Structure 1
Amino acid sequence: MTSSFEPFEQAMRDLAQRLASRQQLRESVLSRLVLHLATSMADYMDEPLRAHGLNSTLWTSLVVIYAAEGHRLKPSELSVFMNSSRTNSTRVAKELERQGFVERFGSEQDRRQVFLQLTPKALDFVKENMPRRRAQLKEMFEPFEPGEIDELERLLRKLLARFS
């Protein structure tokens, strides 16, 4: 069985032969493999959410707000949890609000502070879909032994440290 990554790998092998540059082939293939895998995982994780007008970013934002005290969070806090810019978090919040998953309201202590509050629709949606999401994640990593999962996490964190 060939993978969706095989055509790229073959093209890289052909290119390395033509350029007589096998030295960089492995690093090129590994870096592209990580990017290809990230895209494939995002597609896999987004698939069940599409019917609800959501993607993984919107879902994760819902879960982060769900986990916050009182199911509410400041947009700036959402930005930190999501590891994204405030501009992107604002877009996410607007989309969740447009779909009826969050409402914005001002703080009683400081009207300049805004909170995102999950709506009853969002609370029901998260409660209903969280077990499905957990099952999807479990299924994704099913081929791995526990030790392999630990090693994969260690290696990914080591690679991440390169960019931190």
Structure 2
Amino acid sequence: MNLDFIYFENGIDRIAGRLPGMPRDRVVINRLFVYIFNELDHVYNEHLSEFGLNTSSFLALAMILMSNEENRLNPSHLGEALVASRTNVTRLTDDMVRSGWVSRKPSMQDRRRVELSLTPDGRTLILKVLPIIWRRIEQQWADFSPAEVVELDRLLRKMLEGLQRFKAAS
């Protein structure tokens, strides 16, 4: 277990000892999500860096590839898919255009809009990287049974729905 997380968990135990009623287990699980996300991001960035990518650029290229048959995607839809601000999507898109992986073109439906398209180099790159990442994902989940993967998926979706209801009610 990550020593930083153990330190955090020990601190939560001290607070819980002083403040009865603290939902200790749920506080720890919330923080565990942050640690897991950071660890995943670090591991994937390590693997992707040899291709000049990071998790954001990899996911962006994959999203454009999967978006439709023409491999085009509107930047606002990319931002929604990546859960990223307009500023971050613009910066990411600028980097991908500079790298030659993506081009910007006027939308076929609305000339005021822009669409992002994979270039042949971007398509070649993402098709080269995907199998490597798939192997990494298989390794990452090797300690989980198929039933555990299904159950975790169900529980995380349940949590997401609850968070969305909470957000809508706020």
Range of TM-score over shorter length: 0.7 to 0.9
Cα separation, partners in 2 of 1:110 and 1:34, compared to 1, 3 Å = closer
Which residue of structure 1 lines up, in the alignment, with residue 105 of structure 2? 105
1:108 Cα deviation (Å)? 5.4
1:85 Cα deviation (Å)? 3.6
Cα separation, partners in 2 of 1:110 and 1:162, compared to 1, 3 Å = closer
Q: Percent identity?
A: 32
Deviates most, 6-15 or 152-161? 6-15
Q: Which amino acid aligns with 1:10?
A: N
Which residue of structure 1 lines up, in the alignment, with residue 81 of structure 2? 81
Which residue of structure 2 lines up, in the alignment, with residue 58 of structure 1? 57
Provide TM-score, normalisation by structure 1: 0.86
Alignment map for 1:41-56 (pairs within 5 Å): 41-56=40-55
1:30 Cα deviation (Å)? 1.4
Provide TM-score, normalisation by structure 2: 0.83
Total equivalences in the alignment? 162
Distance (Å, rounded) in 2 between the aligned partners of 1:81 and 1:25: 32
- The C-alpha deviation readout for 1:61-111, integer Å capped at 9, x for no partner, is 101111232222222232333343433322221221122211112245643
Which residue of structure 2 lines up, in the alignment, with residue 149 of structure 1? 149
Cα separation, partners in 2 of 1:151 and 1:109, compared to 1, 3 Å = closer
Q: CA RMSD in A?
A: 2.0
**What secondary structure is seen at the aligned counterpart in 1 of 2:117?**
strand
Which residue of structure 1 lines up, in the alignment, with residue 133 of structure 2? 133
Distance (Å, rounded) in 2 between the aligned partners of 1:115 and 1:23: 48
Deviates most, 26-35 or 145-154? 26-35
Q: Which amino acid aligns with 2:159?
A: L
**What secondary structure is seen at the aligned counterpart in 2 of 1:163?**
helix
Unpaired stretches in structure 2, ≥5 consecutive residues: 165-170
Deviates most, 118-127 or 75-84? 75-84
Which residue of structure 2 lines up, in the alignment, with residue 28 of structure 1? 27
